């Protein structure tokens, strides 16, 4: 447990294990503890960092409003505090948008980005249209059905209840994150930054369709695609064995890439 200073704001984070670094960035309903199934699995092979963006979990939540444009600074503050480099940033949903922006600002510390169930807010007309169409379908469902499959909710009522409780510890709400959907990097900007990007998504994601993720992969030169059969939007929670295995492939791929560069 530690605190980083992000332009005067206290950012809570934890470091577990040793080895190549992986920093996990939660989504709008999560915080550092949401990664309990990842930390337990990954800490024996990696340095696993979890954190709370401002307004979430144990980080400073005293401000009257949250500017999500400052969230990438929170990630950078943690990277600087621990003097980490060649880090794989894994962002879940809206956390992927923050992770990509942090990587664009500090490529000297970031080895790659995994955009989990998100396109990372990439500014591209075709992708923006596809994402909007996916969301128009998603909002027809109850919120919990967008995030977890109905089969999981039936089989795992306790884990479903815990999932729903996670968000109640946060002060920041989805409305505070609305400006993260604008002003994202273009494909040309990402390509020019030479930051390895991997799209990590589920075939059964009710928020972001597999077709949209495939199209993003096609448009971003050099990107990697991990599209997991049968996986839902919150794969990290509902199917951690699939999510963790994908993170291991991505992290080890970055390490091998650096070794052969």
For 234-245, how does the pLDDT look when each residue is reduced to its tens digit (9 = 90+)? 999 999 999 999
pLDDT band at 223 (very low <50, low <70, confident <90, very high): very high
Out of 163-167, 173-177, 211-215, give the one with best mean pLDDT. Answer: 211-215
The dihedral of CA 63, 69, 72, 77: what is its sign?
negative
**pLDDT recorded at residue 235:** 96
Where does residue 232 fall: left (phi above 0), alpha (psi -120 to 50 degrees), or beta otherwise? beta
pLDDT digits (tens, 9 = 90+) for 38-86: 999 999 999 999 999 999 999 988 877 777 778 999 999 999 999 999 9
Q: Is 109 within 8 Å of 76 (Cβ atoms)?
A: yes
DSSP conformation class of 7: T
pTM: 0.94
Query: Hey, what domains does the chain have and what are their CATH numbers?
Result: 2-260 (3.40.50.1820)
d(CA 127, CA 123): 8
Average pLDDT of span 120-128: 94
Q: Show Cβ contacts of residue 117 under 8 Å, excluding neighbours closer than 6 positions.
A: 92, 93, 96, 200, 201, 202, 205, 207, 208, 233, 234, 235
Structure tokens at 256: 């091998």
Confidence (pLDDT) at 92: 95
- Condensed to tens digits (0 to 9), the pLDDT of residues 140-173 reads 999 999 999 999 999 999 999 999 998 888 887 7
Q: Decide which of 177 and 186 is more confident.
A: 186
């Amino acid at each position: 447990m530690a605190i980083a200073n992000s332009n005067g704001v206290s950012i809570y984070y934890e470091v577990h294990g040793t080895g190549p670094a992986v920093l996990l960035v939660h989504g709008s309903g999560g915080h550092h503890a949401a990664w309990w199934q990842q930390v337990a699995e990954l800490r024996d092979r990696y340095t696993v960092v979890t954190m709370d963006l401002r307004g979430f979990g144990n980080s400073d939540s005293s401000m009257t409003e949250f500017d999500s444009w400052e969230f990438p600074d929170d990630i950078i503050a943690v990277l600087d505090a621990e003097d980490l480099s060649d880090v794989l940033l894994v962002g879940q949903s809206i956390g992927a948008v923050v992770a990509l922006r942090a990587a664009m600002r500090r490529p000297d510390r970031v080895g790659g980005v995994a955009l989990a169930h998100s396109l990372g807010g990439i500014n591209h007309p075709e992708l923006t249209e596809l994402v909007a169409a996916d969301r128009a379908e998603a909002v027809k469902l109850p919120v919990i059905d967008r995030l977890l499959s109905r089969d999981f909710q039936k089989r795992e009522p306790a884990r479903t209840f815990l999932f729903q409780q996670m968000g109640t510890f946060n002060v920041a709400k989805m409305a505070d994150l609305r400006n993260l959907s604008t002003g994202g990097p273009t494909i040309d900007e990402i390509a020019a930054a030479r930051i390895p990007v991997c799209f990590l998504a589920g075939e059964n994601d009710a928020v972001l369709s597999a077709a949209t993720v495939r199209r993003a992969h096609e448009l971003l030169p050099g990107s990697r695609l991990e599209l997991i059969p049968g996986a839902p939007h919150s794969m990290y929670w509902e199917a951690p064995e699939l999510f963790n295995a994908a993170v291991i492939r991505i992290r080890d791929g970055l390490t091998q890439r650096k070794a052969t560069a």
